[in-house]
Amino acid sequence: MDRSLTTTIVTFILGLFFIIMIASQIMVQGDSYKTEIAMRYNSGETIEFDGVVIRDEHTVTQQVEGVIRYANENGSKLAINSVMAEVYKTEEDIEKRRQIDLIKLRIEQLEDAKTLTGTDNSQIESFTKLITEKHSRIVTAIDEGDYSEISSLKYELMNLQCKKSMAKGRTINYDDVIAALNSRVEDLEKSISSQPEIIYSPESGYFVNSVDGYEGEFSYADADNITPDKIKEVVASPKKEADKDAIGKMISDYSWKVAAVIDDNASTSVEKGDKVNLVAGSDQSVIVAYVENIKSYGDDQNVIVLSSDDLNDKLSSIRTERFRLLIDSFNGIRISSSAIHFDDENNIGVFIKDGVRCSFRKIERIYTAEGYVVAADTTGKAGYLSMYDNIIVEGKDLSEGKIL
């Protein structure tokens, strides 16, 4: 073959190869998508202080011979004569009871998973999203050292994974597993040394299984009279000697207050009667509170008292905590401006990666800044953005239902 012809053919083939490569790169780039997980966002000026939590509460006493296992989480509402705790002879018995409860929970989850039959893509996508959320919560619990929460989340995660498998149409027979777990429960029940003594609640209220010695020293009604010196004393020593027979405390109402010492500059940022947002410690949950009083004691010392009806297990048991008071804050989900779109009805929102499809989710914009917006947390609201959604921040020709 003529050398010039061969050179021409080779040159043509190489040229064609490069054209194909370039075209393929353009196509890949054109179909590429960048996503971000929708996460909680808090922003704004803050006032930080060490606060003393004040509740109407008193100790619950009971002479006990053995080891106590509490029946409810801290802050749980108990009715009169409801089960407050069980007294076992040994720690080993309590551990066996804990294992029994976990196994029974696992059995319930497997029985629940068995009710799902057939393939359902919408359920698969929903379970995938919930599994991602559980993973995030487990990571947070690990960071905070909350090992009881990790144990609970582990079983919830396993339940979701089982349900996802069933929703995919996989035929899984859990009967043998359930039978083995029931057998294990029977063995553990027989190995407990004796039946526990039951302690019943003598009254109704919100029970906490710990005491710090300050129960009864403060009252909700007199919180405005607490002094800077008393606040500093409690912050320095948040626990003191309590009744040796105290097995916990009963809070009469879900309302509580927090008192703290702030400087003159901070005291001018809020006024009596203001509705504000609080964050307690490392917890990112926002607490709605009201400024009850601000009292000056001179020497750049002011006592601020805030009230709230938002009582949870942590707030029911702490005496002191590092609080952040959020001023002019924006709390919600932060979204890159590049992700913002409008649908055919001019609703503002974003496109999310919903399984293998593109889906539009509306948002409730509450703040706009250069490069991003903050949207209200509308998790669970149909058609709106939820926490842990996969937001598409870069992509071309996005449309509802498009295969990604």
The answer to whether 259 and 303 have CB atoms below 8 angstroms apart is yes
pLDDT single digits (tens) 271-324: 999 999 898 987 767 899 999 999 999 999 999 999 999 888 889 999 999 999
Per mean pLDDT, which range of 20-29, 75-84, 111-120, 137-146 is the poorest?
20-29
| Closest residue by Cα to residue 286 from 154, 373, 377 | 377
Which residues lie across from 321 on neighbouring strands? 51
Is the pLDDT assigned to residue 77 strictly greater than 60? yes
The per-residue pLDDT for 368 is 81
pLDDT confidence tier of residue 167, bands split at 50, 70 and 90: low
C-alpha torsion sign, points 160, 166, 169, 170: positive
Tell me the pLDDT of the chain averaged across its residues. Answer: 84
The per-residue pLDDT for 319 is 96
pLDDT single digits (tens) 32-47: 788 999 988 876 678 9
| Closest residue by Cα to residue 248 from 88, 89, 68, 56 | 68
Structure-block tokens of residue 342: 């409008």
Which residues lie across from 160 on neighbouring strands? none
- How would CATH label the architecture of 45-59+216-241+253-328? Beta Barrel (2.40)
Between CA 82 and CA 89, with CA 84 as vertex, the angle to 5 degrees is 130
pLDDT single digits (tens) 176-221: 888 999 999 999 999 999 889 999 999 999 999 999 999 989 999 9
DSSP annotation string for 209-271? S---S-TTTS-STTGGG--HHHHHHHHH-------TTEEEEEES-S-EEEEEEE-HHHHTS--
Domain positions in the chain are: 34-42+332-394, 45-59+216-241+253-328, 90-193
Distance CA 238, CA 235 (A): 5
The DSSP secondary-structure symbol of 337 reads G
Is the pLDDT assigned to residue 337 strictly greater than 50? yes
As assigned by CATH, the class of the 34-42+332-394 domain is: mainly beta
